[in-house]
Amino acid sequence: MNGESFNRFLAFLKTVRLGWLIPFFLLVKGEDPRTQLRAIFAGVVVPILAILVFLTAWEISSKQIVTKFGTVPGPRQVWSAWESLMNEIRMEKIKEADHQRRAREKRMKNIEKYAGVFNELPGDKPDFGDTERNQKALSDLSKTFDEINEMLEVSNAISGVSSEQEAQAVVDQFQFESSKEIAAVLISQLLPKEISYRMREEELNMGERFNPIEGDTEELIASKESLKAKELKLIAAEKADLLIERQRLTSFATREAIDVLNSIPSFTKSILGKLDSTASKVGPRLDGWYASIEASEIATGQKYPNRVRVKMLKKSFEYKPYPGKDTYLNQIATSLKTVFFGFMIASLVAIPIGIVCGLNKTVNNAINPLIQIFKPVSPLAWLPIVMIVVGALYVSDDPMFEISFINSAITVALCSLWPTLVNTAVGVASTDKDFINVARVLKLSWVTKITKVVLPASLPLVFTGLRLSLGVGWMVLIAAEMLAQNPGLGKFVWDMFQNGSSETLSMIMVAVFTIGVIGFALDTVMLSLQQLVSFGEAI
Amino acid sequence: MSCFCDINGLGKTYPTPKGPAVIVKDFDLRIEEGEFICLIGHSGCGKSTVLSMLAGLNPITEGVIILGGKELAGPGPDRGVVFQSPSLLPWLTAYENVMLGAEQVYYTASKLERHQIVEYYLSVVGLADAMHKKPGELSQGMRQRVGIARAFALSPRMLLLDEPFGMLDSLTRYELQQVLIALWNRNSITAVMVTHDVDEALFLADRIVMMTNGPEAEVGDILRVRFPRPRDRKEVLEHPDYYPMREYLIEYLSERSHRRGQFKGEVDIHTQINVARGENVIELMGSRENQGNRVNLDRQGQQASGVISSARQVRPGI
C-alpha cells in the first residue's frame, strides 16, 4: 500500500468511527512505538477498562436487589438471555428445514403413488430424475433429522438428572453416538453443580444448621433464622448461575445440531435441489391442469376418472411456507424496516419543505411557529391520533402493510421530521453567497439552481438533520411499537414485561443493548454519509 | 469607437439604523466597445459595489447603466463575472463548472459543440490535463483559471473582474495576467476590472479609473494608458511613460483625499480652476489626442491649471 492510499484508508477509518484502530496500523508500519502505544492505551485500553468497571459494578449491585422476578440480572444472565434468543433462532432454522423435509417426503410418496397420472399430464411428462437416487437422498436426509431431533432432546432429558446412575441411564437411552457424546459432556459439566445445589437446598430445608430442633434456645432459633435468610440469598444466586449454565449447554446442543444440519453432503443437497426445482415447475402445471379438468367436467357433465388423484398430487405440490414464529432477528428486522419507512416519509416531507423555507423568508416565517409547536410533541401523544386517522383512511381487504406497521412508521415520521426540516432550511438559507451569485450570473433555471447549486451546498447540513432525525426516529420507535403492537423490538419489550418470568428482566436488558448498538450503528452510517457529502469550505 | 456602456449618475445607498449610508454617488463613466478598464482605489471605496451593480448582482439605487443601448436590469450571462474567490462549485469538476454556464448560453448547440467549447476554453487557460479534477484538487491559481475559462466560455459582451488575482502570490498573478490578456486579445471583449495593484492595472488597462475615497465615492481621475497592444510585460516595463504613470497612480492612491465639487462645464486648454485648500481633484475627459494629459495642480495655492482640450466635468472644490 503506498503512502497516499494508506492515508486515505486511515481517514476512512476515522470517518466510520474506527479511529482507535489507527495506532495499530501505524505500529505495524513501524512508526514510533512509544507514541503509538500511548495512543492505544488512550483509545483502546481506557475504554475497555471503563467497560469492565461498569460490568463489575453492575454484577455486584444487581445481586443486592431482589424483585418479584428474582434478583436483578447481572451481565452474565443478560448474556445467557441473549444466547437463549440466538438459540431460538437456531431452533427455528432446524424446524424450518424439517418442515421442508416432510413436504418433500410427502411429495415423493405421491409422485410414486400417482405415477400413472403424470402420463396423462398435458405436455411433456416432468422429469424428476432417478427415482431410486431421490429416495436414497431423502432417506439420508431423514436419518440426519432423526439424529438432529435426538440431539435436541438431550438437554431436556438431562434436566432432571441428579445422580451418576440416572445420568448413565439417560446416556444409554440415546441411539446415535453423537447424542451420547453430547449428553456425556453436558452431564459432566452440569451434574456437580446440580448435585451441590440440591444438597444445599436440602440442607436449607432439613438441616439442623438452619432449622430449629427441639431444645433450641430462642436466641439460637433467631440466629438460625438469620443464617437461613443469608443462605437463601446465596442459593438464589447459585440457582441463577445454574440457569445460566443450563442455557449455555442447551445452546451448545443446538449448535452441534446445526453443525450436523450443515454437514449434509453436497451430493444429497444437489439431488434434492434438482427435485425441488422440477417440483416448482410442475406445481403450476398441475394447478392449470386441474382447473381445466374441473371446467370440462362442468361443461360436458362427464366425470374424469382420475380427478381425485390429480387433486391429491396437486395438493402435495402446493407451496406451504413454514409457519414459524417471529424470532428476535425478525423483530429487529421489523423494527429497522419500520424506522426506515418512517424516516423515508419524514425525509420526503421535510427536505422539500426545508428547501422552500430556506429559499423564501416569508414561507419560513409562516411555517416556523408550527415547527416550534410540533417539534417537542412526544410520540405517545401522536400515536392515538395516528391510529384513529390511519384506521379511518387505510381500509383494505388485502393491505400491503400491516396497520400496526403503518401506525408506528407514521408516528416515527411525525416525530423525526423536524430536525431534517430545520437543518435543511438553515442549510439552504446559508448557502454561500458566492454560489448564489454564480447561479444568478449564469441565469440558471430554478430547478438547475436547486439541484446543481443550492442542494449540494446545503447537503452537509441536510445530512446533519437526517442523522439527528434517524436518531430521534429510532428512539421514538420503541415507544410507538409498544403501543401500536407492531411486531418489533418495542413489542418484544412489552411482551416480556407482560409475561413476567424469571427471564423478563434479562430479556428486556438484551433489548436495551440491542437498541443501543443498532442506534449507534445507524448513527455511524449517517455520520459517514455526512462526511462523504461534505466538501469543506467554499472554494 | 462607439459608446458601448454608459454609466450615468450611478449611486448606491444602504439604509442603516443611523440613516442612509451613501457608498457610491454620481459615478459617471462611458466605456467604449473593446475597451479594458481598470477601477482602482482604496479598499472599501466602493469599487466592488460599482462592479457588482454592473454585473446586476446588486440593485442600483440611483442613476442608470445603459449597456449596448439598453438599460441594464439584473444579472445575466451576457456579462461574464470573475469573482475574487473563484467561486467554483466544489462538487463539480472544473469541466462541469464551465459546462454549467455553457449549457445556459449555448442551449441550441449540440452536446458535442458544447463539449468542444468548454474543452477549448479550459485548454486555453492551461487546464487541458486537469479538466476533470474537482476544485479541491486544484491550486488556488488553477481554480482562478477555471473561473476565467467559465467567464469567457459564456462569450459575454462584457467581462467583469472583481480583484480576480487578489488572493494569489505575485508569480501566479503574473502568469494569470498573461492568460487573461492572451484570451482578451483574441476576443477583445469590453472588460472592467477592479484591482488595487497598480502594475496590474498599467499592464492590462486602456484606461485606469481612479475612484475617490468613500463614502460617496465617485470617479476621481482617469488615466489613459497608451502602451501598444499586444503588450509584452518587458516592453511595458521599459516604456518611458511607465514609471511616471505608476508614480502618478501611487501618489494618487497614497496622498490625495477627495471631495465632491460642484463645478460642471466645458473647460479650455488653459482653464484655470479654483481649488480650495486641500481639495484638489480633477477628472479628465479629454479628446483622444489629449487624453492622458494631466492637470497640474498647485497644491499650495488655490489655483490649478491643466492642459485639457475639453472636459465634460471638472470638479474642483469650492
Question: Looking at this predicted complex, what is its ipTM?
Answer: 0.72
In whole angstroms, give the CA distance from residue A211 to residue A200: 13
**Weakly modelled stretches of chain B, pLDDT under 50:** 1, 257-318
**Does the pLDDT of residue A133 top 80, yes or no?**
yes
In whole angstroms, give the CA distance from residue A184 to residue B121: 83
| Residue found by looking up cell 474567490 in the block | B85
Q: End-to-end CA distance of chain A, in Å? A: 31
CB atoms near residue A465 (< 10 Å): 29
Give yes or no for B159 touching A (CB within 8 A): no
pLDDT value of position A474: 94
In whole angstroms, give the CA distance from residue A18 to residue A33: 20
**Which among B75, B86, B88 has CB closest to A440?**
B75
Residues 6+ apart with CB under 8 A from B141: B168, B172, B175, B176
**Which among B56, B75, B87 has CB closest to A435?**
B87
Tally: H helices and E strands in chain A: 21, 2
pLDDT digits (tens, 9 = 90+) for B267-289: 444 444 444 434 344 443 333 33
What the block records as the C-alpha cell of A306 is 382420475
* Chain A residues inside the 8 Å CB shell of B101: 442
Q: What is the mean pLDDT of residues A36-51?
A: 92
Angle at A450 (CA atoms; ends A449, A451), nearest 5 degrees = 95
Class of domain B3-257: alpha beta
**Does the pLDDT of residue A308 top 60, yes or no?**
yes
- How many residues does this entry show for chain A? 539
Q: What is the mean pLDDT of residues A135-149?
A: 90
* β pairing state of B36-40 and B190-195: parallel
The answer to whether A126 and A118 are in contact (CB under 8 A) is yes
Cβ contact, residue pair B77, A438, below 8 Å: no
The answer to whether A109 and A538 are in contact (CB under 8 A) is no
What the block records as the C-alpha cell of A92 is 427455528
pLDDT value of position A536: 53
* β pairing state of B295-297 and B158-162: unpaired
Top residue of B52, B79, B88, B91 to mutate, by most chain A CBs within 10 Å, is B91
What the block records as the C-alpha cell of A342 is 418512517
Cβ contact, residue pair B92, A452, below 8 Å: yes
Please provide residue B116's backbone torsions phi and psi, each rounded to the nearest 5 degrees: -65, -40
Helix or strand (DSSP H, E) at B23: strand B21-32
In whole angstroms, give the CA distance from residue A264 to residue A105: 17
Top residue of B89, B142, B158 to mutate, by most chain A CBs within 10 Å, is B89
**Does the pLDDT of residue A10 top 90, yes or no?**
no
Q: End-to-end CA distance of chain B, in Å? A: 35
Residues forming CATH 3.40.50.300 domain(s) in chain B? 3-257
Cβ contact, residue pair B136, A536, below 8 Å: yes
For residue B36, the 8-state DSSP code is: E
Q: How far is A531 from chain B (nearest CA, A)?
A: 13
At CB < 8 Å, which residues of chain A contact B? 432, 434-435, 437-438, 440-444, 448, 452-453, 456-457, 459, 535-536, 538-539
Cβ contact, residue pair A438, B89, below 8 Å: yes
Cβ contact, residue pair B136, A441, below 8 Å: no
Q: Using omega within 30 degrees of 0 as the cis cutoff, is the peptide bond preceding A284 cis?
A: no
Residues 6+ apart with CB under 8 A from A518: A332, A335, A336, A474
Q: Using omega within 30 degrees of 0 as the cis cutoff, is the peptide bond preceding B230 cis?
A: yes
Cβ contact, residue pair A434, B87, below 8 Å: yes
For residue B217, the 8-state DSSP code is: B
pLDDT digits (tens, 9 = 90+) for A364-395: 999 999 999 999 988 889 999 999 998 888 88
Please provide residue B191's backbone torsions phi and psi, each rounded to the nearest 5 degrees: -135, 140
Chains A–B, number of C-beta pairs less than 8 Å apart? 63
**Which among B80, B83, B136 has CB closest to A437?**
B83
In this structure, the dihedral spanned by the alpha carbons of residues A221, A224, A226 and A230, taken in order and rounded to 10 degrees, is: -160
Give yes or no for B154 touching A (CB within 8 A): yes
Cβ contact, residue pair A442, B143, below 8 Å: no
Q: What is the mean pLDDT of residues A420-424?
A: 94
A204-208, A337-341, A382-386 — which is least confidently predicted? A204-208
Cβ contact, residue pair B86, A539, below 8 Å: yes
Q: How far is B7 from chain A (nearest CA, A)?
A: 20
Q: How far is A431 from chain B (nearest CA, A)?
A: 11
